[in-house]
């Protein structure tokens, strides 16, 4: 619903009740990233550890969610078990539209349930169900049981749930959203786990009147036409894995724990190969006609008499990089099979794959052995990686429990820090060069999506430090605007400031429409202020030696340039965080 304030549902698991809270601040905090920052300021405890039961778990949508296509994502915010600092993780699925039609701008969960539980929310309903029998179940079993337990709203609800990784406090535990999407990074799953919260089901069962302006239908149609046009065809057709071949050709694909950046063997796991050979069908986030979700299949023979099971597994560039190129697994079906194990455990497959890549090299170099890894790890050995992924998800021994807290933490104990591919968290699938490495290492989410550093590397020929820093800061501001709306970042080329202005005007958010710059700068600063208050010290960021050894099509990484970028970007972040109002 279009309104100037925020309508929040605050659920306290400790007492098993909720409150509807109305908060001012639409014109200042927008929604999404900005709203999450506001809510963490109000309900969070930056000085306390992530696993304090009073820490909030926040899900926030934006002012345009549902009103325009691809305004279809949700910002999840929490204090992260990965670095014990304020963090955001984003996902789509049906989460955003379900919140919109539950008539909520955000859901905030505090406290810890006495018994493993599930929150079921609708526009006219709030139930906290005790589900001790679901604890210990994997993500898929949990989904099946939830569908039986919460019978209403099929098709118009979101099911957010965790697997064993979240229950055991893994800092790589994701929150699965509607089977094929994830609040993947920085351990949101463990935040649910520590609250004894196995699942959240949100039913979107309300309807609203449309804005009465004559502009709204016109602007909607314009956005819809653009979003189903050629600009989005990349995501509609091959999907994000189209990057695999491009990066491999330009020596920018992390391979074999980043020991190399190109390899002819990667030709078998390109996006085109996946699309031709393992793609089963596509799916979409609610409110998105692009349908970028690519779902492949794995088939496993379980009896010699030709008896099989099959599973559907969603894939993207990042999972293929993490358990394909990084582990030198070059059979698409085996890549999907490893992703599938990660999905069941409720792990962030990106972090988990990169962690196993480090572990494999650590075995090769003698830092660890089978005593730690239980199964012998070797690049390309997909069967053992499937087992290792499960061991990591379950936290099967001291080694895997420590690795699940982050590759760098494991490397600090066992050795091998130089080749731990960690940039704030386990790297994403871009070895494009200095600006990207600085961007992920220092970026707010430690994500390739914080700013377009990878794009800057690919397009820029020179090494202009101030130009790069200026780009990172300004591009982050633009993306903060989109993640406050909350638009899918794939739509960033369509939702320009000009179009966003008209969208906001058409639904009546006049102030926001006319103040995109100052508002997004304010949210950018506020996020950094909270991050710094929760313990982030950008000056202390260390880039592992492996990143200095990378060679791309542009040549070897320039140590001085990368070092300078880190120093200057750290200063810029410090300035952003200290000038926040």
79 vs 198, beta carbon nearer another protein: 198
92 near another protein (CB under 8 A): no
Helix (H, G, I), strand (E, B) or coil at 310: strand
Cβ nearer to another protein, comparing 265 with 284: 284
Q: For residue 180, state whether it binds another protein (rule: CB under 8 A).
A: yes
Restricted to residues 303-342, the positions that interact with another protein (CB under 8 A) are 312
Query: Could you tell me the smallest distance in angstroms from the CB atom of residue 525 to another protein?
Result: 32
Per-residue CA distances from 214 to 3, 71, 218, 498, 506 (Å): 19, 20, 7, 18, 8
Nearer to another protein (CB atom), residue 144 or residue 467: 144
How far is Cα 68 from Cα 209, in angstroms, rounded to an integer?
14
> Shortest approach of another protein to residue 101 CB, angstroms?
7
Furthest C-alpha separation in the chain = 69
Q: Which of residues 159-178 bind another protein (CB under 8 A)?
A: 178
Residue 289 interacts with another protein (CB under 8 A)?
yes
Is residue 562 within the footprint of another protein (CB under 8 A)?
A: no
Quick one: which of 98, 94, 15, 3 has its CA closest to 54? 15
For the record, the structure tokens of 31 come out as 């929604």
Of 217, 493, 517, 535, the residue at the interface with another protein (CB under 8 A) is 217
Count of residues making up the chain: 581
Residue 221's CB is within 10 A of a number of other CB atoms, namely: 10
What would the two tokens of residue 319 be?
């999972």
- Position 268 contacts another protein (CB under 8 A): no
> Within 237-266, which residues bind another protein (CB under 8 A)?
none
φ, ψ for residue 315 (rounded to 5)? -135, 155
Taking CB under 8 A as the criterion, the residue among 288, 341, 404, 431 binding another protein is 288
Instruction: Give Cα separations from 116 to 10, 134, 139, 535 (angstroms).
Output: 19, 8, 15, 30
| Dihedral, 15, 20, 21, 24 alpha carbons, nearest 10 | 160
- Which CB sits closer to another protein, 195 or 226? 226
Does residue 282 bind another protein (CB under 8 A)?
Answer: yes
Binding-site member from 179, 240, 262, 520 for another protein (CB under 8 A): 179
Residues 196-215 contacting another protein, CB under 8 A? 204-210
- Smallest distance, another protein to C-beta of residue 39, A: 24
Q: Is 156 in the site for another protein (CB under 8 A)?
A: yes
Check the CA dihedral 208-211-214-218 and report its sign. negative
Of 26-55, binders to another protein (CB under 8 A) are none
Considering only residues 283, 455, 515, 563, which one is a binding residue for another protein as defined by CB under 8 A?
A: 283
Q: Are strands 125-130 and 555-556 parallel, antiparallel or unpaired?
A: unpaired
Kindly state whether residue 293 participates in binding another protein, applying the rule CB under 8 A.
yes
Q: Is 235 in the site for another protein (CB under 8 A)?
A: no
Long-range interactions of 553-556: CB distance < 8 A, separation 24+: 553/250, 553/251, 553/252, 554/433, 554/457, 554/461
Which positions from 110 to 139 touch another protein by CB under 8 A, shown as an x/- string? --------------x---------------
The footprint of another protein (CB under 8 A) covers: 66-67, 69, 97, 101, 124, 143-144, 147, 154-156, 178-180, 204-210, 217, 220, 224, 228, 236, 281-291, 293, 312
């Amino acid at each position: 619903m279009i309104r100037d304030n925020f309508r929040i549902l605050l659920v306290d698991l400790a007492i098993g009740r909720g409150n509807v809270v109305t908060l001012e601040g639409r014109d200042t905090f927008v929604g999404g990233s900005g709203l999450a920052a506001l809510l963490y300021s109000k309900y969070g405890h930056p000085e306390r550890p992530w696993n304090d039961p009073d820490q909030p778990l926040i899900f926030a949508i934006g002012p345009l969610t549902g009103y325009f296509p691809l305004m279809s994502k949700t910002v999840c915010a929490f204090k992260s078990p990965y670095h014990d600092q304020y963090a955001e993780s984003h996902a789509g699925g049906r989460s955003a539209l379900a919140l919109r039609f539950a008539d909520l701008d955000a859901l905030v969960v505090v406290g810890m349930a006495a018994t493993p539980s599930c929150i079921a929310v609708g526009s006219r309903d709030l139930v906290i169900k005790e589900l001790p029998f679901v604890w210990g179940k994997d993500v898929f079993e949990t989904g099946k049981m939830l569908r039986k337990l919460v019978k209403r709203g099929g098709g118009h609800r979101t099911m957010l749930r965790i697997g064993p990784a979240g229950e055991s406090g893994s800092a790589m535990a994701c929150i699965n959203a509607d089977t094929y999407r994830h609040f993947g990074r920085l351990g949101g799953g463990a935040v649910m786990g520590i609250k004894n919260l196995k699942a959240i089901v949100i039913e979107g069962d309300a309807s609203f009147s449309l804005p009465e302006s004559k502009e709204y239908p016109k602007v909607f149609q314009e956005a819809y036409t653009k979003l189903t046009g050629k600009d989005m065809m990349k995501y509609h057709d091959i999907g994000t894995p189209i990057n695999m071949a491009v990066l491999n050709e330009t020596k920018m694909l992390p391979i074999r724990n980043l020991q190399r950046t190109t390899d002819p063997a990667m030709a078998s796991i390109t996006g085109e190969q996946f699309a031709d050979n393992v793609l089963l069908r596509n799916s979409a986030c609610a409110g998105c006609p692009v349908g970028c979700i690519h779902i492949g299949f794995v088939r496993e023979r379980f009896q010699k008499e030709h008896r099989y099971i099959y599973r559907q597994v969603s894939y993207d560039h990042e999972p293929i990089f993490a358990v394909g190129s990084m582990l030198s697994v070059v059979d698409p079906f085996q890549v999907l099979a490893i992703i599938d194990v990660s999905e069941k455990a409720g792990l962030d497959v990106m972090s988990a794959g990169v962690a196993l890549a480090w572990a494999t090299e650590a075995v090769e170099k003698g830092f660890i052995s089978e005593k730690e890894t239980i199964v012998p790890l070797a690049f390309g050995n997909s069967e053992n990686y499937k087992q290792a992924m499960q061991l990591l998800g379950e936290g099967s021994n001291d080694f895997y429990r420590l690795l699940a807290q982050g590759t760098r933490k494991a490397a600090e104990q066992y050795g091998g820090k130089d080749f731990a591919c960690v940039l704030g968290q386990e790297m994403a699938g871009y070895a494009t060069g200095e600006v990207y490495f600085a961007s992920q290492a220092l970026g707010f989410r430690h994500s390739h999506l914080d700013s377009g550093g990878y794009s800057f590397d690919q397009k820029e020929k020179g090494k202009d430090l101030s130009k790069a820093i200026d780009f990172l800061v300004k591009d982050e501001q633009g993306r903060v605007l989109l993640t406050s709306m909350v638009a899918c970042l794939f739509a960033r080329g369509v939702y320009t400031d000009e179009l966003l202005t008209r969208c906001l005007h058409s639904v009546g958010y006049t102030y926001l429409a006319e103040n995109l710059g100052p508002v997004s700068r304010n949210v950018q600063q506020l996020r950094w202020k909270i991050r710094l208050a929760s313990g982030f010290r950008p000056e202390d960021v260390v880039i592992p030696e492996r990143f200095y050894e990378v060679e791309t099509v542009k040549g070897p990484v320039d140590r001085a340039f990368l070092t300078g970028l880190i120093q200057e970007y750290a200063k810029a972040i410090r300035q952003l965080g200290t000038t926040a109002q």
